[in-house]
């Protein structure tokens, strides 16, 4: 269950980070409130996941997969560019997160 909660937290992290850029383009108080709300949800989910997972494991997976998700989301939603070397390091990040999960002492 804790891994599922962490997966939802990763999704929320990705939405939160992308909503920051989206809110900056609209510059309204309504759009600016979305990242604020998502940050509370995000931290709450991460805290719940850490109840059953080691803090370092949960945080490493959350930040690593969140960063890769934000890069992919930026490419899809905002036309950000990613070079081949960056894609290679993104792959290494995913491998690290998967390895962290596979070899977690939980």
90, pLDDT greater than 70 = yes
Sequential DSSP letters for 62-103: HHHHHHHHHHHHHHHHH-----HHHHHHHHHHHHHHHHHHHT
16-74 per-position pLDDT tens digit:
999 999 998 898 989 999 999 999 999 999 999 999 999 999 999 999 999 999 999 99
This prediction's pTM: 0.89
CA–CA dist 50, 57 (Å, integer): 9
């Amino acid at each position: 269950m804790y891994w599922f909660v962490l997966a939802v937290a990763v999704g929320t992290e990705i939405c939160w980070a992308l909503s920051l850029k989206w809110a900056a383009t609209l510059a309204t108080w309504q759009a600016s409130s979305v990242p604020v709300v998502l940050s509370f949800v995000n931290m709450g989910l991460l805290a719940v996941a850490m109840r059953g997972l080691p803090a370092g494991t949960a945080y490493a997976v959350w930040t690593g997969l969140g960063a890769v998700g934000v890069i992919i989301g930026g490419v899809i939603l905002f036309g950000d560019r990613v070079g081949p070397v960056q894609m290679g390091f993104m792959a290494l990040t995913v491998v690290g997160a998967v390895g962290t999960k596979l070899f977690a002492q939980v």
